[in-house]
Amino acid sequence: MATTTIGIIVNGATGRIGSTQHLANALVPIMREGGLALGGDQIVPRIKLVGRDPQKLAQAAAARGVAEWSADLDVALADPEFSVFFDAAATHQRKPVLDKAIAAGKHIYTEKPVALTAEEGGALLAAARERGVKHGAVEDKQYLPGLQKLARLARAGFFGRVVGFRLEFGWWVFDGIERASQRPSWNYTRAGGGGLILDMYPHWRYVIEGLLGRIRRVATLAATAMPERADEARRHYRVDVEDTATTLVELKSGAVGTILSSWATRVRRDDLMTLQIDGTDGSAIAGLHRCRVQSNADTSAIKHFNPTTDLGIDYGAAWRDAPDAGPYVNPYRIGWEDFLRHVATGAPLKSDLAAGLRDLEFAEACLRSAATGTWVEMAEPP
């Protein structure tokens, strides 16, 4: 059995996403289990943590059992034993650090959005192709257990002809004034790369198109429900990005759906994120883990509603649990395993930088629609 070690620079290693999802839930378990099996061989990650605060880096390295770290990005990029660069640092700094990594000849894997604008994302993709480095983008939500069950139903033709869908997401994020905010303050400033659409809509693109096919056009209404917040130092600041958005989506198939996302809504749904797909043969609704279905045969024959008497009908009773879609694997780990196979063997990778660019193009189309009050067409991908 041959062992291939792949050196990985993890930039933004002390942040929440980098530390928990990518290190604790993905790379460190792969490393502790002796690597990723590939045929009869093993791919073993060698991790170097990078960030701005040496003390936090040392603590994070000790907590994760990682031996190597550096507070100097340029020094880390100059090390030839580390061929992969991963970025989970602040969004507004992403393109400059990815530019550096590509120039240094590193394969790149990056959190979303891959840049602040589609133009910048396109420049990154062109640079990666010209330099001949492999590239990937994090598209984790498609591997949530609930959405994998939904995907299995779609592949099996359960829905028949899809006629519509509804995606709902969000919860109440406190403003930091009366109660501490659950999200960093940069999420609510344009200069920090914040905004609900730039943050979450890249996810909705690959989820929708992966399940239902190409998006033709979008119409979005965005708003700022909480115009003033307080940051981590309790300083008040003005919010200059949207924190709630509603989007009408027309698919190439002709089906129409809605996306409702908000950081200013209190949860009264089955889950923090739900996606319902309706088809001629049946419907299904998935959350993060659960998925319930209703076939045409099980659909109630509702004829009218009664404005004077509550009929007491449980409309959820005719829904049943969808079958499992296989053993659960952390979505971030799946992404890393796919990318490591791609780097080691050239195995196909659907979540590459081109996919990340289309995620960004979708978010940008929705922002443009919100600014102009018009439908915005989504170009066909190359």
Question: For residue 382, is pLDDT > 80?
Answer: no
Helices then strands, each counted (H, E), the chain:
10, 18
- Nearest-angstrom CA–CA distance, 237 and 177: 10
d(Cα 133, Cα 136) in Å, to the nearest integer?
A: 10
Burial of 370 (0-12, 13-18, 19+ CB in 10 A): buried
Q: Which residues pair with 282 in a beta bridge?
A: 295
Q: Is the dihedral of CA 365, 367, 368, 373 positive or negative?
A: positive
d(CA 249, CA 219) in angstroms, rounded, equals: 7
Q: What is the pLDDT of residues 355-378, one digit of tens each?
A: 999 999 999 999 999 999 999 999
The answer for residues whose C-beta is within 8 angstroms of residue 172's C-beta and 6 or more apart is 263, 264, 265, 266, 267
pLDDT at 205 over 90: yes
Look at the alpha carbons of 210, 212, 215, 220 in this order and tell me if their dihedral is positive or negative.
negative
CB 344 within 8 Å of CB 2:
no
Residues 6+ apart with CB under 8 A from 173: 181, 182, 183, 226, 243, 263, 264
pLDDT tens by residue, 49-91: 999 999 999 999 999 999 999 999 999 999 999 999 999 998 8
Predicted confidence at residue 174, as pLDDT, reads: 98
Judge whether residue 1 has pLDDT over 80.
no
pLDDT band with cut points at 50, 70 and 90 for residue 301:
confident
Q: What is the pLDDT confidence band of residue 177, given thresholds at 50, 70 and 90?
A: very high
Rounded Cα distance between 325 and 158, Å, is 14
- Using pLDDT thresholds of 50, 70 and 90, give the confidence band for residue 304: confident
Among left, alpha and beta (phi > 0; psi -120 to 50; other), residue 170 is left
Q: Among 261, 256, 257, 267, which Cα is nearest to 246's?
A: 261
Q: Each residue of 10-38: pLDDT tens digit? A: 999 998 899 999 999 999 999 999 999 98
- Percent of the chain whose pLDDT exceeds 90: 88
Instruction: Enumerate domains of the chain plus CATH numbers.
Output: 3-140+330-349 (3.40.50.720), 141-327+360-377 (3.30.360.10)
What pLDDT, on the 0 to 100 scale, is given for residue 57? 94
Specify the pTM: 0.95
pLDDT at residue 257 in the model: 98
Instruction: Show the tokens assigned to 226.
Output: 């909480």
pLDDT digits (tens, 9 = 90+) for 134-147: 999 999 999 999 99
CB 113 within 8 A of CB 359: yes
- Tell me, what's the pLDDT at 273? 98
Q: Which two tokens stand for residue 87?
A: 């970025």
Q: Which amino acid is at 308?
A: T
Dihedral Cα 13, 16, 22, 27, nearest 10 deg? 60
Q: Residue holding tokens 């660019």?
A: 357
Output the pLDDT for position 88. Answer: 95
Q: For 308-318, what is the mean pLDDT? A: 88
pLDDT at 173: 98
Burial class (CB in 10 A: 0-12, 13-18, 19+), 270: middle
The full length of the chain comes to 382
Strands 3-11 and 41-50: parallel
